[in-house]
């Protein structure tokens, strides 16, 4: 999602307003950022992700949720709405309203040009503070490209990149495989959008990709 105007509120004031609002806003350190609507491509990808995840999670103790579910990063106080959240085990909420999640397992963000830097940088830095988070996935809406970050035992994060509609994103922790052909089903791009400038993706024998 994209963010626009901002105002200063306490967390309590923010939540009180947010629960009555018709639109969603992100909150961080007293500032409220109104979130703009998503593009047709963005919503198509989001729908495809939920459709692909739901049947695979049905027999597991995990559920997938869209961008209406608010999450809070407790160490920093960030309130935000990831595009897709997977929760495994018992969900933990901030209060009795049960509308602010505190323990996401997997977060997926669909990149836009205005938010890509934030999603890769500051937002990911905050998401890494979730002790529950095992996987972070970035999905391009401009070409068939998915980047998957997995938490390692030493708290570092391993990144694998998947390019092309024949590739399959695997998230072992939740036992899900997401073919990029399904993620991008019915998505069309102008020809100039699919050109990757300055980056060549090299496929290794393992099936992973690295930038060169």
Give the CATH number, domain containing residue 147.
3.90.1570.10
Within a domain: residue 10? no
> Which phi-psi region, left, alpha or beta, contains residue 29 (left: φ > 0; alpha: ψ -120 to 50)?
left
143 burial via Cβ count (<10 Å: 0-12, 13-18, 19+): middle
pLDDT in tens, 76-126: 999 999 999 999 999 999 999 999 999 999 999 999 988 899 999 999 999
Least confident interval from 23-37, 68-82, 95-109: 23-37
Residue 17 covered by a domain: no
DSSP state of 64: E
Per the domain annotation, does 5 fall within a domain? Answer: no
Mean pLDDT over the full length of the chain:
87
Do residues 138 and 158 lie in contact, with contact meaning Cβ atoms separated by under 8 Å? no
Residue 209 has pLDDT above 60, yes or no: no
Residue 113: CB atoms within 10 A of its CB come to: 9
Q: Is residue 157 part of a domain?
A: yes
Is residue 76 within 8 Å of residue 129, measured between CB atoms? Answer: yes
Q: What is the pLDDT of residue 210?
A: 41
For 121-176, how does the pLDDT look when each residue is reduced to its tens digit (9 = 90+)? Answer: 999 999 999 999 999 999 999 999 999 999 999 999 999 999 999 999 999 999 99
Residue 110 domain boundaries: 39-211
Residue 77 lies in a domain: yes
Average pLDDT over residues 9-18: 91
Domain count of the chain?
1
**Could you tell me if residue 143 is inside a domain?**
yes
88 assigned to some structural domain: yes
Q: Say if residue 5's pLDDT is above 80.
A: no
Geometric angle at alpha carbon 28, from 24 and 30, rounded to 5°: 100
Answer whether residue 156 is part of any domain. yes
Q: E strand or H helix at 150, and its extent?
A: strand 145-151
């Amino acid at each position: 999602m994209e963010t626009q105007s901002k105002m200063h509120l306490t967390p309590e004031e923010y939540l009180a307003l947010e629960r009555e609002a018709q639109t969603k806003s992100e909150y961080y350190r007293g500032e409220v950022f109104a979130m703009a609507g998503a593009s047709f491509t963005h919503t198509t990808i989001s729908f495809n992700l939920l459709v692909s995840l739901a049947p695979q999670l049905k027999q597991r103790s995990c559920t997938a949720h869209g961008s209406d579910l608010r999450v809070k990063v407790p160490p920093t106080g960030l309130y935000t709405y990831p595009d897709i959240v997977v929760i495994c085990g018992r969900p933990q909420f901030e209060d009795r309203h049960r509308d602010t999640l505190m323990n996401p397992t997997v977060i997926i963000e669909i990149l836009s040009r205005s938010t890509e830097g934030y999603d890769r940088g500051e937002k990911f830095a905050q998401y890494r503070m979730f002790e529950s988070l095992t996987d972070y996935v970035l999905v391009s809406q401009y070409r068939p490209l998915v980047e998957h970050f997995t938490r390692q035992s030493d708290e570092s994060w391993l990144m694998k990149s998947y390019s092309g509609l024949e590739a399959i994103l695997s998230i072992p922790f939740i036992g899900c495989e997401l073919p990029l052909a399904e993620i991008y089903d019915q998505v069309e791009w102008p020809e100039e959008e699919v050109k990757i400038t300055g980056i060549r993706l090299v496929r290794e024998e393992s099936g992973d990709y690295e930038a060169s």
